[in-house]
Every structure is written in structure tokens, then in C-alpha cells.
Amino acid sequence: MPARPRRYWLVKSEPELYALGDLERDRRTAWEGVRNYQARNSMKDDMAPGELVLFYHSNAEPTGVVGLAKVASAAHADETQFDPESDYYERGATRADPRWMCVDLAFVERFAKVVTLAELKADPELDGMLVTRRGMRLSVQPVELGHFRRVLALARARTKLPK
DNA sequence: GCCAACGTTGGC
DNA sequence: GCCAACGTTGGC
């Protein structure tokens, strides 16, 4: 049976709520609180352990891709839906019939420099990348391999220092 | 803080 | 099933 091709992803997070630095400290976390069906379906149906994830800071200064994470579990129920104290509580969701699913993410690396949204938008090789689309709010989104590689190249480019 | 873009809700 | 109203996301 042929292995299915590896996929690449981008997740958004507001650093005031959960920054890449928090993931670095925690090493691994359940990607809870996603309440959008398209994003949920990506986690439930399409993400596989080991796949790489661009970690993007939204509502930040600057906004952009700040590092890399990887998928660290199969999909499982998002526990916050069962907690009446949680902002993400979902009335009627049960463990037998959960509505919201998530995966665990693990820290991989922090980029030496942020690849800003402005850079992403300005790069012709990234034409069509979802995160650059105006009004694109999807918080878990697929990334084409070519775009993924290009973002890594931008992250690893170094300014030439004068002699 | 503004507001455009989008997703969801609910009246009909 | 339509669609207006509303709430949220997220860039700027």
C-alpha cells in the first residue's frame, strides 16, 4: 500500500493567547479551542503525526511565520468542549459523540527571523498561498510543498554582513 | 480602534 | 431554504 503523501500546514495563534514561546516551553500541547469546521476537518481527517506545521502569529507585531511545529498525535476529542467552565464549552457534546477534534502539536524550531506577512505577500513564489489572501481567517490551513519550502528558505536567508 | 471579510444563527 | 443580523477574525 503506497504511503499517502506528506502534507504541510500552517496554524495561526495570537501570541498574547499562545505564542510559539509557550509551545517551546511546553514542548507539546493539544491544539484546543479551534471552533471552525473547516479547520477541525483538517485536524480530524488530514493531519498525520510527523507532518510539519508553520507557526504563525496573528494580531502581533509583526504578524508572520515565527517557527516550525509538527503534528504529534492522531486526532482526538478537544477536552475543552466538555468543560462547563471553559470558553470553548459545547453544550451537548459527549465523549461518545464529540463535536470538536484536535491534534497535539510539538515544538520544532524558532526561526532566527520572523517571515512577516508583508514578505509573504511580496514574494512572487508565494502567489496563492492561503495566508496571504485578504480576509482569509482559516486558523488551520494546508500549505503547498513549494510554498512551504520557500517560507523555510526566507526564514533561513541571512543578511550579508559588510566586511 | 476601525472595518472588511467571513461564518453562524435564527426568523420566516 | 433564504437571507438579514450578528459575532468573530485579524490586518492595518
pLDDT per residue as tens digits for the range A59-87: 999 999 999 999 999 999 999 999 888 88
How many Å apart are CA A7 and CA A84, to the nearest integer? 35
Instruction: Say which nucleotide is closest to residue A40, CA to C1' distance.
Output: B7
- Give residue numbers, 19 to 38 of A, with CB < 7 Å from strand C: 35
Query: How confident is residue A4, by pLDDT bands cut at 50, 70 and 90?
Result: confident
Query: Of the CATH numbers 3.10.590.10, 3.20.20.110, 3.20.20.480, 3.40.50.300, which one belongs to the domain with range A8-154?
Result: 3.10.590.10
Residues A131, A122, A108, A105, Cα dihedral to 10°: 0
What the block records as the C-alpha cell of A80 is: 475543552
Protein residue closest to B7, using CA and C1': A36
Q: Rounded mean pLDDT of A84-113?
A: 92
d(CA A156, C1' B4) / Å: 33
For residue A87, the model assigns a pLDDT of 87
Alpha helices in chain A (DSSP H): 20-26, 37-41, 117-122, 145-156
- pTM: predicted TM-score of the whole model, two decimal places: 0.93
Helix (H, G, I), strand (E, B) or coil at A116: strand
